[in-house]
Amino acid sequence: MNRRIVSWVVSGLVLAGLASMAGAAEVFPAVTVTNARGGTQYSLTLQLLALMTALTLLPSMLLAMTSFVRVVIVLSLLRQALGTAQTPPNTVIVGISMFLTFFIMQPVFSEVYTQALVPYMDGKVGFQPALEAAQAPFREFMLRQTRQDDIAMFMEIARAAPVKSPEDVPFTTLVPAFLISELKSAFTIGFLIFIPFLVIDLIVASVLMSMGMMMLSPMMISMPLKLMLFVLIDGWNLIVGSLASSFVMPR
């Protein structure tokens, strides 16, 4: 995937929002710097200050609305199932998860770029229509991954009025429902990954006990066997391929 699409989508919409809000807001003094020759006053708009504060939450928001949560949890559970402690390290797992997220989300990012960013940069639509157009692909992606039971639970908690179709679900309700569904899917996949490695641990422990080798840790024997099995079956291709195909992507 062309990673420039992701940066264009994020930076274009954010900078466009900064520009549109900065011109329409009332200016107030923010900082005053005084030196020997006098004072210099720097001004800032309330909307700009609020948006700059909200930018700190932007990475978390983007990760919460993509496939990152499922991928990083499954890879973390795989590392625990192999029993390799901190190998691969957290930075490697996060890096793999990020690039897999870019690969899986490529159709969504491309749709946001063509339907929202390009028309806005060409001046064909305003900021608010562009923001709504950018929200639509993410909404469709999350709806395809979210279980109806999770949406119903959050709708009940929020005491929201019944909706006629899934497309009418409020965005603030869809995001937490999507996260809960992703956690369920990730732990389900992790459980299936654990089963063969757990069988190896049980076999090794039983063999050592039958041989009377009580003082020998089963992990010293089972971990090389699990690594050998994982390499022989081409485990990385199986895990990554299964993860990528587990997402129901928009057509």
pLDDT means per 10 residues in the chain (251 residues)?
47 43 44 51 54 70 84 91 84 89 87 82 77 82 87 85 80 88 91 88 83 74 84 87 79 60
Token pair of 9 as six digits: 């989508």
Residues 224-233: contacts with CB under 8 Å, at least 24 apart: 225/200, 226/81, 226/82, 226/83, 226/197, 226/200, 227/82, 227/84, 229/196, 229/200, 230/82
Amino acid at residue number 247: F
Q: Three-state SS for 169?
A: coil
CA distances from 198 to 83, 215, 218 (A): 10, 20, 12
Q: Three-state SS for 43?
A: strand
Query: Backbone phi, then psi, for 84, in 5-degree steps?
Result: -95, 15
Predicted local distance difference test score (pLDDT) of residue 15: 43
Domain ranges of the chain: 57-245
Radius of gyration in angstroms for the set of CA atoms belonging to the chain, rounded to a whole number: 25
Task: For residue 144, give the nearest of 67, 75, 69 by alpha carbon.
Answer: 67
Task: For residue 69, give the nearest of 198, 167, 238, 190 by alpha carbon.
Answer: 190
Predicted local distance difference test score (pLDDT) of residue 180: 92
Predicted local distance difference test score (pLDDT) of residue 45: 54
d(CA 79, CA 137): 32
Tokens 């504060």 label which residue?
53
